[in-house]
């Protein structure tokens, strides 16, 4: 005869408590004494009990699933955020259902949100780094627990984001403190909030130092765009420092500078943004800015769960500071 899986009543019997107490422990209810909570958790571990999520959904009216809306992209930042969200959700006892869209516009976002709601997800996280997502998010139902990640800072909705401006200021200041008179910036796409924040931080740092603000060098996020911009910068003898909006742009710039005989960092110093895993293995190893994607994911889940548990908006804004990662692509400028 097959052995049945342990049930909640088995946990309650072993722990010497009621099944209602076991349920409160499983749902993270605050009104449980710590000694009792530990006893229940020990019984769960001993029996190998796994909660029946379908049954819990019937009782609570919601599932243990978080719906995520994300653009279908291999870009390092959004992909890293998605992986970090899945990990943070798992640590909080939730699964993640990802709805990928080609474009973050009203029609695409609304369609994915409707699918998530049809499956009775507990709440929704939207990774919304581009301007086109803003209007779509404002049209969503107001009673849905929702958090945006890297969304529009001008819109009054729950938002967790990397402090892009602070990261760009740190990168620019690092180059200025090395002795460079000014810093050129190769930017990301104009419709990305990440790009706008990094431009703002770059300009603010130069203005605070009383340094000349060179013309912006617009690009996208690709190494190919960085290479094209690097071809131009390599022909400008006065350029001694470049801050790129991401590490892939920096990779393209490094290639172009090498082809033109401009040594990094002896002739030109370069700083990137994102700290992709390969950045430490560029030639030379790239100084860059590291966003804390794990912290962004944890803050997003905490903000969302606060809405779910309290049926209120909770905190509306949280900004996570990135950190500068110095390597070997920055040094003092050459003597003229």
Residues 131-171 have pLDDT tens digits of 878 777 777 777 788 899 988 888 888 899 999 999 999 99
Non-local (6+) Cβ contacts of 321 within 8 A are: 163, 166, 167, 292
If you average pLDDT over residues 10-18, what whole number do you get? 89
The domains found in the chain, sorted by start residue, are: 8-51 (1.10.260.40), 60-162+293-321 (3.40.50.2300), 164-291 (3.40.50.2300)
pLDDT (0 to 100) of residue 59: 47
Note whether 40 and 11 are within 8 A (CB).
yes
**Residue 129 to residue 122: CA distance in whole angstroms:** 23
Calculate the alpha carbon distances from 35 to 11, 14, 39, 303 in Å.
15, 14, 6, 28
If you average pLDDT over residues 313-329, what whole number do you get? 88
Could you tell me the pLDDT band of residue 12, with boundaries at 50, 70 and 90? confident
List the one residue out of 190, 194, 193, 186 whose CA is nearest residue 223. Answer: 186
The CB density around residue 20, as the number of other CB atoms within 10 Å, is: 11
pTM score: 0.79
If you average pLDDT over residues 180-192, what whole number do you get? 96
**Residue 18 to residue 16: CA distance in whole angstroms:** 7
Please say if the pLDDT value at position 323 is more than 50.
Answer: yes
If you average pLDDT over residues 227-242, what whole number do you get? 97
Please say if the pLDDT value at position 54 is more than 50.
Answer: no
Alpha-carbon torsion, ordered 231, 237, 238, 240, to 10 deg: 70
Mean pLDDT of the chain: 88
Please say if the pLDDT value at position 325 is more than 90.
Answer: yes
At 43, list the tokens. Answer: 């019984």
pLDDT (0 to 100) of residue 222: 96
């Amino acid at each position: 005869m097959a052995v049945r899986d342990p049930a909640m009543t088995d946990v309650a019997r072993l722990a010497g408590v009621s099944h209602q107490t076991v349920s409160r422990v499983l749902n993270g209810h605050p009104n449980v004494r710590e000694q009792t909570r530990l006893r229940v958790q020990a019984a769960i571990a001993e029996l190998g009990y796994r909660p029946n999520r379908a049954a819990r959904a019937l009782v609570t009216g919601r599932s243990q699933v978080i719906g995520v809306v994300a653009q279908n992209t291999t870009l390092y930042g959004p992909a890293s955020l998605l992986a970090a969200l899945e990990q943070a959700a798992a640590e909080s006892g939730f699964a993640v259902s990802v709805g990928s869209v080609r474009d973050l516009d009203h029609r695409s976002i609304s369609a994915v949100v409707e699918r998530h709601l049809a499956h009775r997800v507990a709440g929704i996280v939207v990774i919304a780094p581009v301007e086109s997502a803003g209007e779509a998010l404002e049209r969503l139902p107001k009673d849905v627990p929702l958090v945006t990640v890297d969304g529009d800072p001008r819109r009054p909705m729950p938002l967790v984001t990397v402090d892009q401006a602070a990261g760009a200021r740190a990168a620019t200041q690092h180059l200025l403190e090395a002795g460079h008179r000014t810093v050129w910036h190769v930017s990301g796409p104009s419709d990305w909030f990440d790009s706008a924040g990094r431009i703002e931080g770059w300009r603010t740092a130069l203005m605070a130092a009383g340094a000349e603000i060179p013309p912006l060098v617009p690009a996208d996020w690709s190494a190919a765009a960085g290479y094209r911009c690097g071809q131009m910068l390599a022909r400008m003898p006065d350029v001694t420092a470049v801050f790129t909006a991401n590490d892939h742009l920096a990779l393209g710039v490094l290639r172009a500078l090498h082809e033109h005989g401009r040594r990094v960092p002896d002739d030109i110093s370069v700083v990137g943004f994102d700290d992709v895993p390969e950045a430490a293995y560029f030639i030379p190893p790239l100084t860059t800015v590291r966003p804390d994607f794990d912290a962004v994911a944890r803050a997003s889940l905490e903000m969302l769960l606060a809405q779910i548990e309290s049926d209120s908006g909770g905190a509306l804004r949280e900004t996570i500071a990135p950190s500068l990662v110095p390597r070997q692509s920055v040094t003092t400028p050459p003597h003229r």
